[in-house]
Structure 1
Amino acid sequence: MSIHTPYDEINFMNYSSSAQRAILDGIQDEIQKAGDEMSEMMAAHSPNTNLEPHLLLKAIQALFDACVNYGQVMSIMCSYNAINNIPTCGNPDLLNGILRERWNFTGFVVKLLTDDGNVTMDTLNNAVRRLLKTKIELGMFDPPNMVEFNSYDFNDIENEAHLKLARQVAQQSICLYKNTNNNLQKAPLPIQNSAINKIGLFGIQSVQTDLLLGNYARSPDQPGITTILQGIYDQIDQNTTANCTFEQDIGYFVPGQAPIAVYNPGQCCALCSTVQTYQSMESEGRDRSTIDLPVGQYELVRLLKSVIGPNKSLIGILIRGGSIALHNLMDDCDGLIDGWYPGQLGGAALADVIFGSYNPAGRTPVTYYHSDEQLPPMHVMDLYPNSTISSLGITYRYFTGKPQIPFGFGLSYTTFSYANLQVKSSNVKACDLITGSVDVTNTGAIDGDEVIQIYIKYQASVPSPNVRLVSFQRILVQAGHTVTMEFTITPDYHAVIYDSDSVYKPTRMVEEGTLNIYAGGGQPDYYSGHLQQQVQITNAQNIDTC
């Protein structure tokens, strides 16, 4: 769990506080003695990062606060960089003031320690005491036959239920960004038309396995990893597409040269092309210098579309962890699917979406920028717009430019409409909870999940987000049916941060004024069917006194 710019090496490690809580619930529900660790507290992946209090508290500490107080993690790993010229692993305000005094953390901190003569015996004893306490709680000093983990074997891990869950997780994470070809009578996806008798697949990554797993993942033994190629083969074997044959080119593409293919792409009724980053350019210790895809991939997609023409569909499949610039992919691809790092059954899950046995409902958790020109220089961690460095800001909360794909966006094979956005009270005090509800109806012909998103906007006297997601819920809505989502907005979501003498001791205030609440299937500025309500905050108050 680290803080990164779009260029950084391990953006896929970023999670929202809601996602962190879900992960912790899953781990701690299955394994009671889970030694959960929060990785790289306050990391910014820059030798030194200067952060103002409003950024330190709003953008960063809230994420870690959720894990410490909600998840009761046992250990935390401090980052290797410095915050405001003080190394995080030696910062008493951070490790003691916030972590132990404010958040009441009782576990141990993983950090590099060098003995320069300034480490006291009391400090060393405290560190050893915390570490041994955790080992005792984990049963590391118990007899081996009393430790539950020692009884696990292969069948406990790679069982049918876990494999089914792996496929389900991959399915639910897949995002659909485009599904339009104006020259066809129906959407390009899902591929179901019996008239499609030949499908082509381009891209070496369609047969690669390691990229599907991403970083920090051990390759499973049995049944192994389902590649994109195998997933498509399996779907065709199941007669998902009648009378369909399949061709594939797995050669590398060289800019300026035609792809070496085993067939003429123009003979295909539909083409799928995989595009991706590589572990050699996006992994631990490897920051990117650009958000562009590796050389040749944009050209490959452009060439393929020119070969098959406007009356046949080209489906793009994205595999990678961080935000990328799509450039011509949004124009040349008729369908665009984002697989992220989908895991060992990612190929099967992607094929499920392509052939329609699963209706996609993923929403992008990052902003897609048009190009590097929309981003601040590498290692600049100021999230707000800054004209002195030609920065438009970063993340959906602070970015003032026009994104290529906005945070929270994703398409479905069905359609939804919203109605009856209600809040319990239109006037509330600063410390009050704001509760409400909204109805969503599946107006399409098939069942599908909808991700209902609640955002807020407000005017503040100090720097604050332009918009903020305060609640969301993924709900299955049957075709023709309506469901109701209830939501709660806590004061910390619309509190602002005032400057103080120490960035670690700021004043958090809820200000008096108007709070605009929006409900819909995406951000209010980019989702045309959103609803809006207003609530008046009748007084100002320090949130720490609530």
Structure 2
Amino acid sequence: MYFLLLKDIIDIKFYLSQLSDLFFVTCNLGMDVNCGSFVANYTRLALEKQKLQESDIDRALRNIFSIRMRLGLFNGDPKTLEYGDISPAEICSQEHQDLSLEAAKNGIVLLKNSAKLLPLSKIKTTSLAIIGPKANNSELLLGNYAGIPCKYVSLLQGFQGVVKNIGYHPGCNFVNCTSTAIDEAVDVAKKAQYVVLIMGLDQQVERENWDRVDLGLPGQQEILINAVAEAAVEPVILVLVSGGPIDISFAKNHPKIGSILWIGYPGEGGAAALTQILFGEHNPGGRLPVTWYPKDFIKVPMTDMNMRPNSSTGYPGRTYKFYKGPKVYEFGYGLGYTNYSYNITSVSHDKLYLINQTSSDKRRKHGSHIHNIAVSKSGSEVCNKAKISVKVVVKNKGKIGGKHSVLLFVRHSKVKNDEVPRKQLIGFKSVHLGAREKSKIKFIVSPCEHFSRANKHGISVIDEGKYYLVVGDKKYPVTALGREARAVYNAGQLKGMTLWAPNINIFRDPRWGRGQETPGEDPMVVGKYGVAYSNIYKIVSTISVLIHGAIQVLKQDLADSYEPPFKSCVEQGKASSVMYIFSDCDAVAIMYTHQVHAKEPEDAVAATLRAGMAVNCGSHLKKYTKSALGKQKIQESDMDNSSQSLLR
């Protein structure tokens, strides 16, 4: 099943001049479904203009309906089928609500806690002031594509259940904060023992089809925060709600802003989670899934998605793996109410040998040294033998127990080279440690996977030289002198209900409105998230369909940034298919309306059907297929091919 960008192709890229050409091109490329209305609107015209054949449409329909049949969509009343009797009571069971709360607590990240302002004492806290434009709006806690909560609780309501004396003022009219009531908010703050500022973004500022144009707080939020902080009795607590990163350098360095927490869009359990963390019932252990860039990052063109930096042009690169510019906060950053120490106690071996059947040729060419070797030149047996066992002891040095995530990175000694990642996450493990408790954690490092990088041709290679295994402030050297290969994964197939899984894109630009849908900017984290999501539903025999979108990318970025999570989800998570989108899934509409690849909608219908499209998510295919047929832009055989693909 292909989801192509017909609307984008014709309106933005101008690949085609007529709409009637659009469906012809995309259908011939194998597109089956288009999410918009262009296929429905212009397929008939494409047929009439003979840009498309009915057989093109048939092929797309066969693809679509064959899948629908496999999913059991024609097996009768859905209420009588396997999942038809799941009631709201089952969805909103206490177990599920507890899980929602647990997820919210584990996801909150403590960014600053000067003078250990947090946690607050329930007994000693006599009054609170809650300031923020949507502190009393429970929908603020929900991201896009959120389901209906079992219960709505705003952050203000969460605090009202703990502290009796609470003052509240929105401070701004909306999150965009174009109109403020700073004086009134300051008066409320002056009367309270502690002040909690609820600031950040919402779905009116960032969402699908709505990217940000800057990385600061909207409108006059920063002015409001500074005014309240200066007037407050004690240093204030700043709570940030957002999906994407925000440049809060002013707050990070402000002496009257004592604590900063980022809560993302925590869902229905968000209010209880934040309250429990602020009052010490839960020790925060969340880590940032993306880099927080400074405001100047908006100078980097959003149309340039190259991961690697370019020292000659000043391009800084993207994500923690390659970005070389200043940062507000690092990927993986996160504090707790206690400190932790690390010690790498054991590494099974610290030398890897880059010798295989082609190494003699390389030695003749390069002399006695092999600069790097393609991992594909070695087999899985060599790769498995090269795996390194690493043992790390982590200790809770404080008096408060909590859940802590241990992150193991690898860093190459040639990190100044633009082609080499600054560092790469090998793995992470969470452990709950009581006060003064310690625990031993074991990581398995696969050099063929973790030490390799993609060269300019998109080929994974391991460079000769020294690497460092890094956890916290500790590092351990490993020298690459040997051969490795990529790990071999298991493949599988599932049956049953289809479930749309998370967006397995990496978070590649801080302005991206859909960034909130992704697990973060690290390919391994994104892959693990998608695999875990897919694995959950194996129990009920589902087919996992993962969403993966991208734009034009370099081969090497495709190889080591975009492809790994896709590969993990398909091969380890055993997802049966991936919804791959370049910018939109309304293919016919994109080719005609946005990218002007087709002058007429029937041309778009013809182009997409003949490109292999079987189904279009919008209404354009339905609207214009008949006219495309009438104008002889398509033949019945074109439609037959799509129909066969759907019904197969």
TM-score (norm 1): 0.71
Cα offset for 1:540? 4.6
Where in structure 2 are the equivalents of 1:197-236 lying within 5 Å? 197-220=126-149, 222=150, 224-236=151-163
Structure 1 equivalent of residue 86 of structure 2: 152
User: Measured at CA, do residues 543 and 126 of structure 1 come closer, stay the same or move farther in structure 2, by a change above 3 Å?
Assistant: farther
Of 422-431 and 206-215, the range deviating more from structure 2? 422-431
Give the distance between the partners of 1:456 and 1:172, measured in 2 at CA.
25
Shift, 1:121, TM fit? 6.9
- Between the aligned partners of 1:180 and 1:231, the Cα distance in structure 2 is 24
> Judging changes above 3 Å, is the alpha-carbon distance between structure 1 residues 146 and 386 closer, same or farther for their aligned structure 2 residues?
same
Q: Deviations over 1:368-421 (max 9, x none)?
A: 122225751232212222356643222111111231111101011122111134
Q: Secondary structure at the match of 2:253?
A: helix
Distance in 1 (alpha carbons) for counterparts of 2:487 and 2:105 = 41
Deviation at 1:303, TM superposition (A): 0.3
2:393 corresponds to which of 416, 430, 439: 439
Distance of aligned partners of 1:383 and 1:296 in 2 relative to their CA distance in 1, 3 Å threshold: same
Change (3 A) 1:515 1:128: farther
Give the whole-Å Cα distance in 2 for the aligned partners of 1:509 and 1:233.
Answer: 57
**Cα deviation, residue 293, structure 1:** 1.1
Cα distance between partner residues in 1 of 2:485 and 2:56: 35
SS in 2 for 1:475: strand
| Range with greater deviation from structure 2 (193-202 or 399-408) | 193-202
| 1:172 counterpart = 2:106 | yes
2:125 to 196, 201, 220: 196
Bigger helix fraction: 2
Aligned to 2:453: 496
C-alpha change, 1:125 and 1:174, in structure 2 (3 Å) is same
**Alignment coverage as a number of residue pairs:** 430
Greater shift after overlay, 258-267 or 323-332? 258-267
Q: RMSD across aligned C-alpha pairs, in angstroms? A: 3.4
Measure, in 1, the Cα distance between the counterparts of 2:410 and 2:15: 34
Alignment match, 1:267 = 191
8 A Cα contact 2:239 2:261, kept in partner:
yes
Partner Cα distance (2:15, 2:467) in 1? 37
Residue 314 (structure 1) aligns with? 236
The equivalent residue for 1:370 is: 294
Inter-CA distance 499–204: structure 2 relative to 1 (3 Å threshold): closer
1:318–1:495: structure 2 CA closer, same or farther, 3 Å change rule? same
1:519 Cα offset (Å): 1.4
Q: Is the 8 A contact 2:136 2:155 kept in 1?
A: yes
Q: Deviations over 1:31-54 (max 9, x none)?
A: xxxxxxxxxxxxxxxxxxxxxxxx
Structure with the larger RCO, 1 or 2 (CA within 8 Å, 6+ apart) = 2
One-letter identity of the residue aligned with 1:300: L
Question: Partners of 2:324 and 2:166 in 1: how far apart?
Answer: 45
Instruction: Report the CA distance between 1:341 and its aligned residue.
Output: 0.4
CA drift at 1:484: 1.4
Letter in 1 for 2:421: P
SS of 1:156's equivalent in the other structure is helix
Q: 1:389 to 1:203 in 2, by over 3 A?
A: farther
Structure 2 residue aligned with 1:246, among 148, 152, 166? 166
Q: Does 1:449 align with 2:403?
A: yes
1:325-336 matches, cutoff 5 A: 325-332=247-254, 333-336=257-260
> Which runs of structure 2 are paired with 1:462-541 in the superposition (5 Å)?
463-490=419-446, 491-500=448-457, 506-520=458-472, 530-540=473-483
- Judge which range, 456-465 or 511-520, deviates more: 456-465
Q: Residues 215 and 298 of structure 2 are in contact (CA less than 8 Å); yes or no, is this contact kept in structure 1?
A: no
2:68 partner amino acid: K
TM-superposition CA deviations, 1:331-371 (whole Å, max 9, x none): 33211011100001211111111111111100001111222
Q: Is the 8 A contact 2:346 2:390 kept in 1?
A: yes
TM-score (normalised: structure 2): 0.60
User: Aligned residues: percent identity?
Assistant: 24
In structure 1, C-alpha distance between the alignment counterparts of 2:200 and 2:437, rounded to whole Å: 38
Superposition deviation, residue 424 in structure 1: 1.1
Select the structure of larger CA radius of gyration.
2
CA distance in 2, matches of 1:150, 1:367: 42
Which amino acid in the other structure matches residue 206 of structure 1? Answer: A
Task: State which of 338, 343, 346 in structure 1 corresponds to 2:270.
Answer: 346
